[in-house]
Every structure is written in C-alpha cells, then in structure tokens.
C-alpha cells in the first residue's frame, strides 16, 4: 500500500514539473518577441512583458529550481500548527 502511494507521489511530481516547465517555456516566448521586435512596437509589449510574462517566468523558474525547499517549509509549518492545535 505504501509503495503505490510513493509511486503516485513520484508521478504527481513529474507531472507538476512538466507543467511548470511548459509554463516557463510558453511565457518566455513573448519576452523574446519583446527583445527582437522593432523599436516602434516596443511600447505595445512593455506593460504585459514587465508585469505578466517576466514575473510568471521568474516564479515558475524558482519553483522548478527550489520548489522542494518551499514544499518542505510548508509541510513543516503545517505539522507545527497541527501539533500546536492538538495541545
């Protein structure tokens, strides 16, 4: 029983990693368009690039790089809160 739960966890992590990887790739394409677009078109792309595409790409990259640390911190915090609630 524990083996199947572990296998499901690995599959979920793989799917999550793949989703974040594709989000990272898709949101980097408009940034390349912003960089290589003609100068007269840059003001049209500036706002969405600065406030949508770059932050999403940074967050997805950080999650792929250090997501295990965030998950570990969240799980420790939840365990601590559960222990404090059971007192």
Between CA 53 and CA 41 the distance in angstroms is 17
Do 18 and 67 form a contact (C-beta atoms < 8 A)?
Answer: no
Number of CB atoms found within 10 A of residue 68's CB = 10
Q: What percent of the chain has pLDDT over 70?
A: 87
pTM higher than 0.75 = no
Encode pLDDT of 73-86 as tens digits: 888 777 777 777 77
Listed ranges 42-51, 64-73, 76-85; the one with the highest mean pLDDT: 42-51
Residue 20's Cβ-count burial label (10 Å; 0-12, 13-18, 19+) is: middle
Model pLDDT, residue 1: 47
Instruction: Give the residue from 16, 28, 85 showing the smallest Cα distance to 56.
Output: 28
Encode pLDDT of 10-29 as tens digits: 678 888 889 999 999 999 99
């Amino acid at each position: 029983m524990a083996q199947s739960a572990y296998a499901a966890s690995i599959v979920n992590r793989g799917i999550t990693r793949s989703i974040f990887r594709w989000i990272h790739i898709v949101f980097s394409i408009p940034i390349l368009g912003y960089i290589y677009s003609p100068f007269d078109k840059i003001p049209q792309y500036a706002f969405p690039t600065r406030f949508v595409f770059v932050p999403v790409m940074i967050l997805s990259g950080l999650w792929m790089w250090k997501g295990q640390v965030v998950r570990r911190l969240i799980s420790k915090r939840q365990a601590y809160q559960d222990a404090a609630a059971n007192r």
